[in-house]
Amino acid sequence: MQKTQLWRRLILTSMVVLAAWLGLRHQLVGGGPKGAAPLDSFCPFGAVETAATLAVSGTFIEKTNWSNLILFGGLVLSAFLAGSFFCGWLCPLGALQDFFAWASKKIFGRQLELGRNLDHIFSYGRYLMLVIIVVATYYANELVFESYDPYKAFFHFKFEDYIPVLVIGLFIAGSMAISRFWCRYLCPLGGLVGLFNKLGSLRPGRKAETCISCHRCDRVCPTAVKITEREKITDSSCVSCLKCVDACPVPETLTIKSKGLFLVLGLLAFFLPPLITQVTGIWQSTPVAAEIEQINDPAQIKGWMTLEDVARAFGLDKNQLARELGLSEAETGEHLKEVMAEKGKDMDYLRAYIAEKLKEK
Ligand code: SF4
Ligand code: SF4
């Protein structure tokens, strides 16, 4: 195996471990201002989901934070310099798809490939997903996609109902059947990042004069880009894995300007913004306690708040609320999301209940 691909596997595996650690830490430590940040605040796509709400009302959608914007900034920077570097080298879901593709080839010997026209039509699924998620998130004022997001299903380590299990099952089946099916047909972030492949000089290029048309590049491409029909690979479905470059048997025929520069720029661009903001104290991934003082609408009540917080913020009698909700004294100081779940109720029930109490006031 080429050194480049070894590096890629090593980095991707590290990203899977990092995502699993972040998800597990949140489950073990809990959320809120003093807890561990939710997995959602470590996803660049969270910035896209919260952008409209942030622009209109100046507030983040619950579970998103400055960290999402910073990671998205790093992603855009890396995309400007190295195209869809994130998809091929950093995304934990990309790593999982590569692993299931490998397992599928071991078990079944091959993967399926949709016809060219179907592949092209389905690739717009990414943009359809993008529009639906952005619009629905804005109007619902919550992360509507989180229950169906494979990133969350795999790394959140909480199975409250059958949906994450179903998502994981479908994701594994899809990845085993069709190489990088999620990236190619469904991933809203991948669709967005792929557009940057049209820019930048660090793209694989093919010299038609020396190409012997062996089609090795076409065969190894995980997203079925027709490399032998291109002189520069700018397709939005390319995940910048460089497998084609590594597979070409003719020197100086399918190349990228500098693999080292590509890797260093891609990594630095993505990781420097979170590192610098961590050091300077700008990074924010957990909610701040001051948010409690700012709430003036029951819709703003978050799962990490306590009944004590809510009673204080709205000037309501904590003991009366606790009695009516069937909570013990100790439970008034615990996170509402868990407390309400134990009572078989969700946060919307609580928000509606508080709204009623405010009307009675
Ligand atoms: S075109 Fe090359 S770099 Fe892009 S996804 Fe295919 S194999 Fe990877
Ligand atoms: S692997 Fe290289 S020589 Fe073979 S078809 Fe692709 S670009 Fe041409």
Residues 296-331: tens digit of each pLDDT: 889 888 888 999 999 999 999 999 999 999 999 999
Task: Determine phi and psi for 232, rounding to 5 degrees.
Answer: -135, 135
Flag whether 120 is in a domain: yes
**Regions of the chain short of the pLDDT cut 70:** 1, 200
- My answer on whether 351 and 304 are in the same domain is yes
Type of residue at 65: N
What's the 46 CA to ligand 1 centre distance in angstroms? 26
Flag whether 285 is in a domain: no
pLDDT at position 1? 67
- My answer on whether 191 and 262 are in the same domain is yes
- Residue 247 alpha carbon, nearest atom of ligand 2: 1
- Residue 241 alpha carbon, nearest atom of ligand 1: 8
- My answer on whether 332 and 195 are in the same domain is no
Task: Determine phi and psi for 182, rounding to 5 degrees.
Answer: -65, -50
CA dihedral 231, 237, 242, 244 (to 10 degrees): -60
Q: Is 197 in the pocket of ligand 1 (CB under 6 A)?
A: no
CA dihedral 299, 305, 306, 312 (to 10 degrees): -70
> Which residue CA neighbors atom 1 of ligand 2 most closely?
248
Which of 222, 248, 280 terminates a domain? The answer is 280
Q: Is 190 in the pocket of ligand 1 (CB under 6 A)?
A: no
From 223, 236, 262, give the residue whose CB has the most ligand 1 atoms within 8 Å, as the site to mutate. 223
CB-based contact 82:268 (threshold 8 Å) = no
What's the 204 CA to ligand 1 centre distance in angstroms? 8
Note the pLDDT tens digit of each residue in 232-258. 999 999 999 999 999 999 999 999 999
Which of 280, 306, 331 terminates a domain? The answer is 280
Q: Is 244 in the pocket of ligand 1 (CB under 6 A)?
A: yes
Which of 230, 248, 280 terminates a domain? The answer is 280
- My answer on whether 97 and 146 are in the same domain is yes
- My answer on whether 78 and 166 are in the same domain is yes
- My answer on whether 101 and 205 are in the same domain is yes
- My answer on whether 179 and 80 are in the same domain is yes
Flag whether 193 is in a domain: yes
From 214, 225, 244, 256, give the residue whose CB has the most ligand 2 atoms within 8 Å, as the site to mutate. 214
CB-based contact 71:277 (threshold 8 Å) = no
Distance of CA 181 to the CA centre of its chain: 16
pLDDT at position 159? 81
Flag whether 115 is in a domain: yes
Flag whether 286 is in a domain: no
Domain region containing 185: 3-280
Angle at 66 between CA 65 and CA 67, to 5 degrees: 85
Overall domain count for the chain: 2
pLDDT at position 34? 82
- My answer on whether 276 and 295 are in the same domain is no
pLDDT at position 29? 87
pLDDT at position 194? 96
